[in-house]
Chains A and B, each alone.
Chain A
Amino acid sequence: MRNSFIETTTALLDEDPRVAVVLADISSAAFDDVRSERLVNVGIREQLMVGVAGGLALAGLRPIVHTYAPFLVERAFEQVKLDFGHQGVTGVLVSVGASYDWTEGGYTHMSPRDVALLDTMPGWRVHVPGHGDEVDGLLRSAVAGDEQVYIRLSTRTNREAHAPELHKVRGDDGPLVLAVGPALDNVLAATEGLDVTVAYTATPRPLDVAGLRALVTTPELVVVEPYLAGTSAHLVYDALNDRPRRLLSLGVGREELRVYGTPADHDRLHGLDPAGLRASITGFLGD
């Protein structure tokens, strides 16, 4: 996904004179061939990175801001809050690292709470692509618009790309299991042979309430997100306020596991591997 991001961003710098890219050293080597003066690397200075991006937006440019997820969203959160929204300007934030792409690197490089944090502010569009081929279209539409956008890239991918909008992937009836982004393949493996409908979205914000309501045919509903468990619970629950419903929210746990290992190990430890998901889902749905 990072390669797709680099490719599309490089092209956008050529195509759109409004586009400026702000980096804080991370990924700067990948842009080595880019000669545009609208590629700005401020060094390892994340507060400045976000502030400069806000300032560029105030000057009429469309900033793309990129670094590792915890440094982009958490480290300079007040800048994200004040230097964009409170100033009345917008930008496109693109992160790498996701919840635990680099488990060998430990807790400092894990960012499972990014989407939940952004949810504390109004107006953010969030894309969580599940495949590298989904990145180009999402990034292009994000840059062409004028919304606040967060694009969450990951090294975890599904086997194949899917349309990013909320849609059914498998099954015709039974409880809905909604998978966000890279969570889809494990959800498909976990629900093999179960009487459920599996849906996918790479755009959890704004939540497609109408699309969700159209697919929900039973009171039971499961959401599997590749970030903090329950991040979307309030939106999904409220979307079905006029119906009886039971919601199971699966995702990354809050606890600090304090282990290294592989991303697959962390999937297992958070119950997000196929076996763990299947146990949670069948337990919730009953026999």
Chain B
Amino acid sequence: MEQLLALRQRFTGDDKHLPSATSTMDVLWTLYDRVLRIDPAKPDADDRDRFFLSKGHGPALFYAVLADKGFFPAEWLDDAAMVTSPLGHHPDRILVPGVEMSAGSLGHGLPLATGTALGLRLQGLTTPRVYVLLGDAELDEGSNHEAIAYAGATGLDNLVAVVVDNSSASHGWPGGIASRFAVNGWSTATVDGRDHDALETALTTLLPGRPHVVVALVEPKNA
């Protein structure tokens, strides 16, 4: 983790999104270090797990993890967002090895992940899973709720949503975030978003016939 923070320090100039970046740190690390079956040497393998960073804001830690895992050279972090750099303040899958989804505009990741999970299943690829990371405020976007309803109704069990909850949604989620998914037939787990063991268990304990959501609780953004 120290090396990760050191790498993160090399990505500068995006202080606006600092809370967003740090809120996702432990989830990202757990995913790439313990959960995702992706070989940086074969980033296009058909049977790899997919990770979509839907909440494209604050990608500093995401880039740090990808660099640490060898998807691209750490030197790329030093001139991020310069005109010559492939690393911007929102990731672009065309420019950055290991980035599966171009993000920035909220509410696109879960529908895209739903389509990719469906597409893998339709091609008989039953092993790979599609993980998609959202924020609790991003959940405001209605497109997510279209996907939550559809993925639940069709039992898309190779789809895993991770909602990092730093209490940043303007109007909150009375009754909890997990309930929005549960009522649509998703299996749910709500865990400490800083606890790697708890995250790993939650991210890998899936139920057949149901999509899965992990709500990762972290410190409130404005605390």
Contacts and interface: CB of A to CB of B under 8 A. Distances in A.
Please indicate whether A and B come from the same complex rather than being unrelated chains: yes
B52 to A, nearest CB: 9
Given A45-B150, A83-B112, A55 B94 contact: no
Interface of A: 17, 20, 37-38, 40, 42-43, 45, 47-48, 50-61, 63, 78-79, 82-83, 86-88
7 contacts: A45-B146, A47-B146, A52-B118, A55-B113, A56-B118, A59-B115, A82-B108
A159 to B, nearest CB: 40
A87 B115 contact: no
Contacts of B142: 47
Contact of B147 (A48, A60, A88): A48
Contacts of A43: 149-150
Nearest to A47: B143
Nearest to B95: A88
Contact of B143 (A51, A59, A61): A51
A123 to B, nearest CB: 14
Interface residues of B, number: 30
B190 interface: no
A55 B150 contact: no
Contact of B105 (A55, A58, A78): A78
Contacts of A58: 50, 100-101, 112, 115-116, 119
Contact of B114 (A48, A60, A63): A48
Contacts of B50: 58
Q: Please classify the interface of chain B as helix (H, G, I), strand (E, B), loop, or mixed, using the class held by over half of its residues.
A: helix
A55 B93 contact: no
Contacts of B94: 88
Contacts of A20: 119, 122
Contact of A82 (B46, B102, B115): B102
B177 to A, nearest CB: 19
Contact of B119 (A50, A51, A59, A86): A59
Nearest to A42: B150
Is chain A's interface secondary structure helix, strand, loop, or mixed overall?
helix
A79 B115 contact: no
Contacts of B93: 87-88
Please name the 4 residue pairs, one residue from A and one from B, whose CB atoms are nearest each other, closest first. Answer: A55-B115, A51-B111, A59-B119, A52-B115
A56 B116 contact: yes
B113 to A, nearest CB: 6
Interface centre among A48, A54, A55, A86 (most CB of B within 10 A): A55
A117 to B, nearest CB: 17
Given A58-B50, A82-B102, 19 more contacts: A42-B150, A47-B111, A48-B143, A51-B111, A51-B114, A52-B118, A52-B147, A54-B115, A55-B114, A55-B115, A56-B115, A59-B116, A60-B46, A60-B119, A60-B123, A61-B123, A82-B105, A82-B108, A83-B112
Contact of A87 (B102, B114, B118, B119): B102
Nearest to A20: B122
B130 to A, nearest CB: 8
A54 B112 contact: yes
A38 B120 CA distance: 11
User: Could you say which of B110, B116, B119 has the most chain A C-beta atoms within 10 Å of its C-beta?
Assistant: B119
